[in-house]
């Protein structure tokens, strides 16, 4: 994404006369902030109980994220990008994305606080307001964050990224939910990831 943000002439041509629009500046910044947040959480918040990222997954994840960053970034940074006509929609989507990112962080912080440190395999069932309707609200808020991004940018490529992320996180949510139900049958009242539905 940030490579596109420099608008290299070999990609976009050398006759770029138009600067970045409001929506472009806003959502390029939010895109970058999302991934900075993820890196900081990996360094300072998450506690890992085992090799959660085998080498084959690292390659798959890099291809997944880089491909979508290229796909989304090319269009969002393009000099001919057409901004959504509603500034209200753009601003509301940006605000929603920030709120969902903060809620996602709050869930990660709570989950991290439930473990003593790296290597701790004890897994208790999380409770509290964020877990009252779903077992994996971190995935819920992650997807909602990308829904907000997609609404604000009106990019088809972003909607594909959001859908792909939802499918993967839904698979993880089902596994985690089953584990929580095995530990505490009362968790059955919750849904995996989408309140009241799934």
On the question of pLDDT at 181 being above 90, the answer is yes
By CB atoms closer than 10 A (0-12, 13-18, 19+), residue 181 is middle
| Cβ-contact 79, 18 below 8 angstroms | yes
| Cβ-contact 174, 192 below 8 angstroms | yes
| Cβ-contact 190, 183 below 8 angstroms | no
pLDDT at 9: 86
CA distance linking residue 94 with residue 146, whole number of Å = 10
CA distance linking residue 20 with residue 78, whole number of Å = 9
Q: Say which range, 8-12, 26-30, 49-53, has the weakest mean pLDDT.
A: 49-53
Q: List the chain domain ranges.
A: 2-12+20-189
Confidence band for 114, pLDDT divided at 50, 70 and 90? confident
Averaged pLDDT for residues 92-105? 98
Confidence band for 10, pLDDT divided at 50, 70 and 90? confident
pLDDT at 72: 96
Q: Say which range, 47-51, 57-61, 112-116, 173-177, has the weakest mean pLDDT.
A: 47-51
Q: What is the pLDDT of residues 127-179, one digit of tens each?
A: 999 999 999 999 999 999 999 999 999 999 999 999 999 999 999 999 999 99
The residue with greater pLDDT, 60 or 147, is 147
Distance in angstroms between the alpha carbons of the first and the last residue of the chain: 32
pLDDT at 113: 87
CA distance linking residue 99 with residue 114, whole number of Å = 23
pLDDT at 48: 59
Q: Which residues contact 174 (CB under 8 A, 6 or more apart)?
A: 192
């Amino acid at each position: 994404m940030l490579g596109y943000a420099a608008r290299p002439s070999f990609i976009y041509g050398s006759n770029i006369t138009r600067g970045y629009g409001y929506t472009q500046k806003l959502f390029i910044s939010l895109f970058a902030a999302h991934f900075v947040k993820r890196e900081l959480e990996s360094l300072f918040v998450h506690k890992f109980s085992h090799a959660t990222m085998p080498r084959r997954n690292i390659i798959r994840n890099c291809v997944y994220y880089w491909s979508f960053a290229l796909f989304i970034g090319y269009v969002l940074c393009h000099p001919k990008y057409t901004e959504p006509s509603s500034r209200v929609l753009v601003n509301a989507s940006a605000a929603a994305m920030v709120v969902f990112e903060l809620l996602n962080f709050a869930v990660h912080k709570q989950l991290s606080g439930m473990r003593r440190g790296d290597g701790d395999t004890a897994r208790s069932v999380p409770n509290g307001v964020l877990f009252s309707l779903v077992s994996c609200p971190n995935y819920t808020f992650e997807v909602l964050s990308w829904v907000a991004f997609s609404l604000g940018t009106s990019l088809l490529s972003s909607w594909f990224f959001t859908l792909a992320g939802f499918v993967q996180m839904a698979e993880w949510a089902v596994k985690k939910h089953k584990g929580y139900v095995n530990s505490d049958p009362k968790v059955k009242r919750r849904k995996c990831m989408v309140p009241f539905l799934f």
